[in-house]
Structure 1
């Protein structure tokens, strides 16, 4: 009854108010006496045209060019100091959208010079938040270079490719995040293999990302006639401008750090307190909104009173009581969740989000209610993995998507939680578990990943799991996939990433038994000019790099050593650590190296591998594993070299087995080979720890 009366009341009020159409008007964005429009684009101060009093320095001068043609007359705004066409301005967020050139490679007469647009010394930078570096082409590596460093991505194709696919996940199109404070760069496109000279027509560009997965360029493969794409620049009123900003009760200014990494405060941005007008000149902000109604305020008030009086009475008291109760409950819950949010590292995560380290487009903040419903209130029957750092639950969202929810133990693990969240938000690769989002409304922080249904590699190698016969082809494919994922982390991500805990229990297998690298809790994202990390020694006994253990310096070659141990596990079917009758721990890596030196390595190779594999191919993998396990890290190969060598061995193995087929019942869909480079690299983010608990307990080493 009450609800019906409230609805009746609202309808009456809305009917009265809607009887008066809004007045058409414009909020002033330009300085008085200045022109404000070029074509169909409004020019807000500090930008301006013609007279120097209309803009805040040479960097903000707009040139309105006549771009008329035979049958079309129009004007287009350009940033005069940089010479780029302006599409739009966003005064509130400090953004300028421009038309930016595309770099073409190997396109014949349509080849373009390498894009080398410089914003050095200006109040503009390429926005990391609203742009991506995107490349389109087949079997290429594209790089965005700056001062000897940069970022890049890898794009591969199959026979049915279409260049320019909207979902740039590495198949005919790839993407990478921009570095912070980017003011100039150059673009380079190379063939994926060093000996390839032709890779087809390819494209690279800095482009505005409209949605979490779409860009402003064609998605049907027709890019030959496209010369420019939209890109977003961020700006601020830099300190060197010496512009006097208005100080009154209608506007305020905040310190910003948009254009420089050398100072905590490189400039300012301003806003109107009541969101109306332009805060960058005196009198630009208004203390009330533009007029809304054509009729006088008194007549509007009388009309509203007439509508309200029909059903006002006692119902208003009930509404007030209901609102007070709701507000009180919301305040109590809000304070509790803020306290929990702060304790769970929410402030640190918020800081990382604002700095651009976290790709907020890819991840979602789940509510506790959603995850409780998905996991049946975290029922113990839903537990699919448990370790010293976290417990993993299987769940299903209301849209039917199966997920894995990782619940951390708060004590001492907040930094690890934030670190894993930041790193996985940057990654998008088919052989890395995908992060879907997080929840910070609970006493224990939660991460949400894609669900990986078939457990981990350790189970299939060491626990006689009959679901997947570990043939030589499957072992070689899994090794190649894991190597490709590590190659991506080390070389093609927006910033190099060291995994720091590669082991068979952290290699999961999806519904098609494809390898997925997991557990990034101890991983680190580093600058491209850094060669090593000096940290507290941390890892799993049997996989730990001896050089890292002695020096406390972790390098990309430390991941190579751990991968070498996994490769030996795949070759021998033996655990990384075994215990003798005297309870002494025996290292598989040391035993393998000794067997190689004594020329008796085939005595420890798994029987199935010896039966199914070519002896010379097995020996090539043995030699590769032996190089990965070199005590001197400098002598170990890079993950790129490892990946290419494994792919080469797979090709040779495939040719030698072309006329042979296993008699075992194996579903061809689950075990079919991927195209040559599908396992090498595929760009963009996510994570999971849905591995089942193995019998072998991880022994973690931590020294000071």
Structure 2
């Protein structure tokens, strides 16, 4: 090794020793309270003070475990040792810790094939002493080394270890001890004996150029910070500091207090406590006192008012020291408790502050009063809203609906009574952006319920309070309709001025919006239209003959036939429907419906029958095969009414001229002809001459299944002139609609929530 390298190593060694020794010098404070027994003059060794229970002679230490010796061979640097051992002590603290120097284990290999090692350095502690498991770390330094630390804890053996590897100096990181060049691991609690051993995996053959030794040691965590230079300079360091915990005696505080002769906390202002690490007990001075609690007069009062001590008096000169504490005061020109930044206030300033406090108090009182008024107003408003909701709930028949539901067994199909707050959240307080349909009798909103179901919510404009009983009956019955082609009624809300009806949401708009839009009509080929007609007929047949209570829809039209994404028909808008009494074949009611679809017989007689739905469905069939609306005010007078015009062209055998060009084809003309004749049958003036919806559904099903025309009375002779006369009646009445193709007749039921969806709307 060159002279320059030796000098560098010596400088490094000196720096390492300074780092290790400096904390000891700083922590060895010289306080003014007694540390040793009064009869002991030998209470220090160089800069290291020796507090009782430690001592160098029998009269100076408590028990033999606390015996220390001072080697003054080097007058300038005497060393303190633990009894007669070679364990050097660098500091002793009354809080139960002691710093000792621990040897480093070393294992080296040289180019000439020789090796040297200093393995198995050990330290064995006396009773009451253990290695601190939080302040120390077992550390290994090297690039081809593994090390073990073993020993005794709680009268049993233990072993743990660590490995340090690297392939080049570039792998090393300053300050990092995670396994590359350096590895650290904690040691267990209550360790009384430590033995260290370090070995090499391959005699450093792969890292010979920069490292040929491995080092292992137990060291105080704050006293060692890994550096790349440690691979070489640790060979010049013999020992490193390690922290040892001590207790005054074994046993708990409660056990110790029972024996006055051996109880160690003898100072008048001391207390016993259990240490965090180790076992046994220790003593300390209570708050406000400092010193050695193991001496009879060891804990003395702390003068918090001394210049070097801390206190929180506003004016330091007015700090008054007392036994175990202190007080603060203010001069005569000031007032206050004397503590903190504003503890002393000039009397005039205090007067101003009192005024400020009064003003602040008044302001706080006013604010509190305003908050109380606001809270009272909000509570009264909440109660008023709750009372109003309850009033509407009763007014809309909520109690009657609950009674009817209570008589039924609970089932998934049972109608749900929603709260108004639920539907407000679902529709963002019925915001305009949620509107998907608007008509003369109300508005339809799209909503998303708390369970993430998308629904359509119908909100009426007005309600007939005389029909509440009928409305409740219809809600209960309609909620029981379980048909795949019916828009299901999920429930209602009765806490608003008018009832809100909640339906399942259908996302592809109405049949009308597809038929009367050129772009969308191209998608509706003949097979799709025939399927829609069949599904609609099946629904009406189900309502008339298969439902638990027969139901007349009363407003069958393309606007009330919704389509889903697969173009499956969903019949909707049962707001105008009527339940058919068991003992009556027909109902007498004010005329209600949409012009162009109204049954002529119903318009003349006010007698509503199931055949009224048949007539309306016949007009729907016409729209499916012609693509025209039921009423077209922009066409010539003879073409204004689709039903009238259809009969005219059918009589002239010119049906082909009014067919929708999107469905015309040689392969389906026979089916179109059959549907045309079926529509003609549905449009008979007299209801008794029309087929039932069950017969209509069967006929359409036969077409889809490829069957032959089974029952349609093609050759039946009808009074077409009589039919045309009734159609003209309807045609004349339609002028009251002011040109609106969807104009509706007023009616007498709570079902005045009949709503016309826009052509591009969906539910």
Q: Under a length normalisation based on structure 2, what TM-score does the superposition of the two structures give?
A: 0.42
Q: Under a length normalisation based on structure 1, what TM-score does the superposition of the two structures give?
A: 0.45
User: Highest relative contact order (Cα 8 Å, sep 6+), 1 or 2?
Assistant: 1
